[in-house]
Amino acid sequence: MPDHEPMVADAVLGELRQPVPVSATFNARVMRAIQELPHRHGRVVPLPTRSSPRRIRIAFGAVAAGVLAMFALPSSPRAHARRVQFVLVAPRARNVKVVGDFNGWDTSHAAFHAKNRGGGVWSVTAPVPVGHHRYAFLVDDTVWVADPMAPRADEDFGTPNSALLVPDQE
């Protein structure tokens, strides 16, 4: 399969394969950030490898439907992540998806597509890595909905987001 016309592609690829300049301070910045991480006895502090069974309480709201709901969910044994149930009450929605930094803000991740459980309740349970996250609901692929019951994250990209903390330990 010809990928491209040589006259265009050769010049383009030649340019794209050229080294890209990096700030002179880049290496130092990276190492400074690393030095500021917590260390123990001079060794890298390993990230947790397994979560113990526990429960996480997280609140999710439904701006679109004007209804709030709170759920408590079992956790997951999946390493470095806990299973979190996302719930939105949106009776008139045709589809609801959860997007956040934990799935690359990618709406195509089927694992984060909520299902209609009846009564306008949409929910999905999915693994979310331990740590701080931003997320939002995307209703009908067009309406960006933050969780009014969760702390609001910075809206530095022009759309409302919520903050989520998935703790490592109870």
Partner 1 sequence: MDASSDADIVGRVLDGDVDAFALLVERYRDRCARYAMHMLGNREDAEEVMQDAFVRAYRALGRCEDPERFGAWLFRILVNRCRTAGARRSRRARTFVSDELALMSASQEHPAERTAWREEIQRALAELRPEQREAFLLKNVEGLGYEEMSEMTGVGVSALKMRVMRACDRLRVLLQEANSA
Tell me which residues touch partner 1 (CB under 8 A). 1, 3-5, 8-9, 11-13, 15-23, 26-27, 29-31, 33-35, 37, 39, 41-47, 49, 101, 104-106, 157-159
**CB nearer partner 1, residue 106 or residue 151:** 106
Token look-up 């998935």 returns 166
**CB nearer partner 1, residue 47 or residue 72:** 47
Nearest distance from C-beta of residue 76 to partner 1, angstroms: 18
* Residues sharing a CB contact under 8 Å with residue 139, sequence separation 6 or more, in sequence order: 64, 88, 90, 93, 95, 96, 145
- Helices (H) and strands (E) counted in the chain, each on its own, are 2, 12
Show the CA angle centred on residue 141, arms to residues 139 and 143, nearest 5°. 50
- CA-based torsion, 113, 118, 121, 127: positive or negative: negative
**CB nearer partner 1, residue 71 or residue 105:** 105
Nearest distance from C-beta of residue 27 to partner 1, angstroms: 5
Q: Which pair of structure tokens corresponds to residue 134?
A: 């931003």
Nearest distance from C-beta of residue 118 to partner 1, angstroms: 31
Nearest distance from C-beta of residue 117 to partner 1, angstroms: 27
Alpha carbon distance 77, 50 (integer Å): 7
Amino acid present at 121? V
**CB nearer partner 1, residue 27 or residue 52:** 27
